[in-house]
Structure 1
Amino acid sequence: MATIIPIESGDGSKKWRATVRKKRNGKLILNRSKTFSSKKLAEQWATKLEAQLQDDEGISAVLAQASLSGQTLADVIHKHVAYFHQLKPFGETKRYTYKVLAEADFAQKPLHQLTSADILAWFTDRRVRLKSTPATLLQYFGNLRQVLQLAKPTFGVSLSVALIDDIRPTLKAGNMIGQGVERDRRLKPGEYRTLLAWFRKYDATRAKHLKMADLFRFLVRMPLRLGEACRISWSELDTKKRTAMIRDRKDPKNKLGNDQLVPILGRAWRIIQDLPRSSDEDRIFPYREESVSILFAKACEACGIENLHLHDLRHEATSRLFERGYAVQEVALVTGHKSWDMLRRYTQIRPESLHR
């Protein structure tokens, strides 16, 4: 039975507190109270809640909602990462994906207030404002869905997968999620100089911790993924052999522990050697991937360069190695590809480069 009592608020006005208690097998399983401005509203709330508690299904639904109170999706994401990472360690990209999801606006809302519209707004912003690719957003979609799907069996937190499944048609119709497509974009004449000039001006006038010009020059000459370049350390640089250890290179089966010794070729080596060293930072390019990606997109927009992605620089560098006469197996040693079929999509050799 519900109890409704009058109470005096801090400003002296009269309010009404409704309390609903539910026992099962003599044990109190629910004790919920709420305060209202009128007795009628208190009675309506109590009547509605008591109606929900008439059968086991209703009781379970109310208890599930109560378990969400005070928790946010960010809390669940952190639990998910902590639990599953200890069973099968995540690679850096996956950890970063979960980090971005946990920092999203929708992840800060109480779970019982979270809606599909909140999640859709976040995906839309990533696609429109940050220019995230459909393939990247598909990774966020898949990881978020897994968090929702495993929350109840793993942590006893009832979350509906419908929160993400309901927006899938909209995401697909708006080309916000999808498989990656093969690209053949390389730097066009003049684009390298234009971007380099923009980055040098940025570095000289605005950058404090992110020096983009040297990283840009390096990525055009070394076909590494951005995350790989940002993990190279001074302590694992062999100055005699001109090699660097690349930790946790991407691999279809398991990237964790897939460490490879890679030669730093040509001018890329000189770029590294000219960089200043920091006593409190071992990484050669100690930058956040997201910060670099955002700045690169900003530079392209400012310079009027269209349809150029940061990852296209890996294509550019790979093609340059082939144009310089390196064999397939030699290029694969640098890029980390296991077969020619995998390497082929990153290769766009210009016809004029075949003239010797």
Structure 2
Amino acid sequence: MASIQKRGSSYRARITREGKSTLSATFPTKAEALAWASEIQAKIRLGIYHDESELRPIQESDFEEAANHYIQTHSIYKKSGHSEIGIIRILIKRWATLDVAEINKFHVLALRDELLSLGRAGSTINHYFNAISKIYQMLTEEWGMLVTNPIKGIKRIPNSKGRSVRVNRDIESQLLAGCQAIDTPLLASIIKFAIQTGMRRGEVMGLDWADVDIANRKAYLHKTKNGETRQVPLTLRAIEVLRALPKTEERVFPMTFDCLRSQFKRLRSYLKQGWDGYGANPFKDLRFHDFWHEALSRLSDAGLNVIELSHISGHKTLAMLKRYTHPSHEAIFLKIDKNLSL
């Protein structure tokens, strides 16, 4: 397939061929570029093109072109690909017209400073760094381009401290009431189920009815963050949520990620504006991920030990489990009063 791109006062003709290197040539006029592309394509179709000296491998590329190619050949095959794709699309909007060779560390530092000013976490900024670095690895290792990775020499941002947000039962009740007020019943079911099971957002949204064993109160997860399958025990309330849902589709919660994000944003905005309590507004910075934290903390409050918690959450190390589990003071006091004689 041929394409023509205007680059300053010249025009670049490109021919992409499946399974072969992309070919290009630059001409002073668009008419010449079109004529060259038509001629080469005709020769290729007729099978009479053999002289590779007439063409040269691509040695320049717009960032948009390279980034989109990376998405189609790398990101879509990753488990966390949707997150990486979102980041790359933001980068495309920022650097679409720049050639990959033009982007340097000062562009990256400007991006970093802007993200910091917006309050983005260090881990989020590092995800941007990683995406940029991967694209440039593709350019050098797969495309054979002599470009410098703009991430080189830039230090990663230290990860922020883990959040200690607790979604107590009062906040949960307000969330569910808010779902009723804005008419999002499936979102209410998703929130209740997430808090009851300790399943991540992707695990909840990807759950199929075929992987739910209501009789034995288990959910089988095949696609998890760490790549290992696991079984999640279902609480009685989680079972109630499942039994109330129709089984008209393959997935338990038939909603797209975009729809989930949109509805959750709408719910949070509704509750944030209606907050009339004292202290910090709990809905101002509420994240869906906080339901996962809350689920593990509630299980810890219920007396489950770290081995049992890791079985449910899928954590492989105590350090990571500690980061995402925050027992309540009330639960600690109950255990102290129950087991210690003072």
Shorter-chain TM-score above 0.5: yes
Matches within 5 A, 1:48-197: 67-68=60-61, 72-78=65-71, 80-81=73-74, 90=78, 92-93=79-80, 95-104=81-90, 106=92, 109=96, 112=99, 133-162=121-150, 178-188=158-168, 190-197=170-177
Could you tell me how far 1:112 is from its partner in structure 2?
2.5
CA distance in 1, matches of 2:24, 2:246: 63
Matched, 1:276 2:246: yes
Cα distance change, pair 325–150 in 1 and its aligned pair in 2 (3 A): same
Unaligned 5+ segments in structure 1 are 1-16, 20-28, 37-62
The one-letter amino acid of 1:155's match is W
Counterpart position of 2:48: none
Counterpart position of 1:318: 296
Normalised to the residue count of structure 2, the TM-score between the two structures is 0.66
Specify which of 311, 317, 331 is matched with residue 333 of structure 1.
Answer: 311
Q: Which range moves more in the overlay, 211-220 or 133-142? A: 133-142
The one-letter amino acid of 2:181's match is K
Specify which of 340, 343, 355 is matched with residue 321 of structure 2.
Answer: 343
Matched, 1:224 2:199: yes
Could you tell me how far 1:316 is from its partner in structure 2?
0.9
Unaligned 5+ segments in structure 2 are 1-8, 12-22, 31-55, 273-282
What's the secondary structure of 2:142's corresponding residue?
helix
- Counting aligned pairs with the same residue, the percent is 21
Tell me if structure 2 keeps the 8 A contact 1:262–1:334: yes
CA distance in 2, matches of 1:109, 1:18: 18
Deviations 1:31-88 (A, max 9, x none): 643259xxxxxxxxxxxxxxxxxxxxxxxxxx88864269713333135418xx8xxx
Counterpart position of 1:56: none
Could you tell me how far 1:269 is from its partner in structure 2?
1.8
Tell me if structure 1 keeps the 8 A contact 2:70–2:135: yes
The one-letter amino acid of 1:144's match is I
Matched, 1:201 2:181: yes
CA distance in 1, matches of 2:124, 2:259: 16
C-alpha root-mean-square deviation of aligned residues, in Å? 3.9
> Bigger radius of gyration, 1 or 2?
1
CA distance in 2, matches of 1:316, 1:198: 19
Normalised to the residue count of structure 1, the TM-score between the two structures is 0.63
Tell me if structure 1 keeps the 8 A contact 2:63–2:96: no
CA distance in 2, matches of 1:235, 1:300: 32
CA distance in 2, matches of 1:226, 1:31: 47
The one-letter amino acid of 2:288's match is L
Counterpart position of 1:259: 229
